Amino acid sequence: MLPNLTVFHDPSISYNVVEKVVEELKITYEIGIQLIKRRELEIVTFNKARNQYNGQQLLNMLIDEENITYFLWLVNEDLYVPERNFVFGLATQFYGGIVSFFRLESENMKIKESLHECGHILGLGHCKEVCVMQYSKNLEEAILKPTYLCWKCKILLKETEKKIDKNKD
C-alpha cells in the first residue's frame, strides 16, 4: 500500500475546497488520509520585496517541526523559490509538498496542481505523456494538462508501492 497522506491547509482555505481536493487525491492515488490539519504560514518566510513566501523555507520548516513524511500543504499565498518568479507548488520526493492556490482560480485547477504535487511526494518525476505529471512553466500550460495520470506513471506508482511493502517485511 502507498502510505497515508497528512493534509495541512492554510486556515484561509475553505474546508469545502480542502475536502474536494482530498477526495480527488484518494481516488487518483488510492491512498488514505491520515489527518487534515490547519497550519499557518510562518511570517519569517515572507519576502517583503517580492510580496511572496519562500516555498522551500516553508517546506523545510514544516519537515523540521512536524517530523512527519507524506504530507501535502495547501496554501492561498503566492510562493517563490530562488531563481523562479513564482511556483504553483513544490515537493520533496517521499517527504512532502506545498501547493499554492494563489494563481489558480478554478476548483479544477486547485485539484489538478494538488494531484501533481502529490505525485512528486509519492516519487513521480515530470512526465512527457498526456498526464497530470507534465511540467507546466506557466498558467497556460497548467490549464492544458489533464487531471489524470498516464499509464506509465501508474506503473511507476505500483512499483513504488511494491518497494514500500517490501521494506515493511
- Min dist CB 15 to Zn ion, Å, is 26
- CB-CB contact of 69 with 114 (8 Å): no
Candidate ranges 1-9, 55-63, 64-72, 123-131; the one touching Zn ion (CB under 5 A) = 123-131
Binding to Zn ion in span 135-164, by CB under 5 A: 150, 153
Active site residue 24: no
**For residue 44, what is the DSSP state?**
G
Report the distance separating Cα 119 and Cα 25, nearest Å.
10
Number of residues binding to Zn ion, judged by CB under 5 A: 6
Residue number with CB closer to Zn ion (99 or 133): 133
What's the rounded Cα separation, in Å, for the pair 38 and 46?
Answer: 19
Candidates 78-86, 104-112, 119-127, 139-147; binding stretch for Zn ion (CB under 5 A): 119-127
Interacting residue with Zn ion among 75, 79, 122, 131 (CB under 5 A): 131
Neighbouring C-alpha atoms within 13 Å toward the C-beta of 69: 10
Size (the chain), residues: 169
Q: Does 133 bind Zn ion (CB under 5 A)?
A: yes
Select the span of 4-12, 63-71, 133-141, 160-168 touching Zn ion (CB under 5 A). 133-141
What number of other Cβ atoms are within 10 A of residue 5's Cβ? 23
The candidate with the shortest Cα–Cα distance to 36, out of 54, 14, 49, 19, is: 19
Least distance CB 14 / Zn ion (angstroms)? 25
Which chain residues interact with Zn ion by CB under 5 A? 127, 129, 131, 133, 150, 153
Active site residues: 117
